[in-house]
Amino acid sequence: MKTMVVKIGSSTIARPGAGVRRPFLADLARQAAELRDMGWGLVVVSSGAIACGAPALGFEQRPTDMPSLQACASVGQCELSAAYDEEFRRRGLITSLVLLTRSDTASRSSYLHARDALRRLIELGVVPVVNENDTVAVDEIRFGDNDTLAALVSCLVGADLCVTLSDIDGLYTANPSEDPAARFIPEVDRIDAKILAAGGDSSSSVGTGGMITKLRASRILMTAGIPSVIASGEAPDALVSLARGEAVGTRFLPAREPADITPRKLWIALGDAVHGALTIDAGAAHALVEGGSSLLPVGITAVEGSFRAGDVLDVHDESGFTIARGIAEADSDELELARGRRQEELAGNHLLRALSERPAIHRDNMIVFA
């Protein structure tokens, strides 16, 4: 059996002031049944809890204070789960609810437990409906990044395809609602700074994600060797068509020879929040991307944030583009003092001597993005 992960945005699953879009959900259940008959298992990463809870609590617009957002998420998750259960049962499918926060994947052991639970549900023919636990995950409510969650789930279950159903039919060279000259991009084989620059903000009144979060998630999936698609939630039979190999939306193609990425490196890429960043020079960037090297202090030009050894960091090139993510081997204060210094220079400094014998980020604890 193949596995498809589909991420559904708030503006696709709900309408302002109206709650769950039952016709859309009914059609999703129909497609899920067809996918089952075609030999595909389905995992749904569903936004929309706050959008569904707000009208139920009498809010005419999405509230802005955190307690109200949490209350809407709590009520809306019940309404959303009930709707999924009713529509999918009509098609002979059982759904389950899986609520995750970053703390559930920040440790490697809990990451693996989440993986095992999801894979077992798929084996049993269940359609897991996954969402962030917005009632308690304050940061996730603030940033609304279910696109990263979909990438995480895709890696956890070893998905064959990850599909994002949104309010736009794919990626354009610019925002098509603002630039009439914007051109549709049907395929992407590498996400660079130019592609990221084409990602605009969300125009939805019920969601908080944007194209940029979708592109970042797709970049991680490309690195992991998992193809992904961004398509319109209104496209007829989008999931079934994609399972047949037909062209829908913008497809992001993984590298022809995907990197050998261990589950540990996927956890580094997706499982924990980033605590800081290191900017490196051109020589160090080349050594990481082309040479498979560890990151030495001599290549670091700037240290951003306050972090401890063991925290996850982004690695930026000279233009500010994120080229890698890894686990710090030293605290931020220590790396600030050590940056730009060669190993022999560090060895002669009693305060920094320990860093002469280890890198700033070891290659085994770093993922370099495609």
User: 294 a known binding residue?
Assistant: no
User: 66 a known binding residue?
Assistant: no
Contacts of 364 (CB under 8 A, 6+ apart): none
Selection from 136, 292, 245, 258 nearest residue 189 by Cα = 258
User: 331 a known binding residue?
Assistant: no
User: 146 a known binding residue?
Assistant: yes
Distances (CA, A) of 298 to 47, 291, 332, 344, 345: 43, 16, 15, 10, 10
User: 210 a known binding residue?
Assistant: yes
User: 209 a known binding residue?
Assistant: yes
**Type of residue at 39:** G
User: 241 a known binding residue?
Assistant: no
* Rounded Cα–Cα distance for residues 45 and 146 (Å): 7
User: 265 a known binding residue?
Assistant: no
User: 213 a known binding residue?
Assistant: yes
Selection from 155, 113, 105 nearest residue 133 by Cα = 105
User: 7 a known binding residue?
Assistant: yes
Give me the residues paired with residue 42 across strands.
Answer: 4
Binding residues for ATP: 7, 166-167, 208-214
Q: List binding-site positions for substrate.
A: 47, 134, 146
What residues form the annotated binding site?
A: 7, 47, 134, 146, 166-167, 208-214
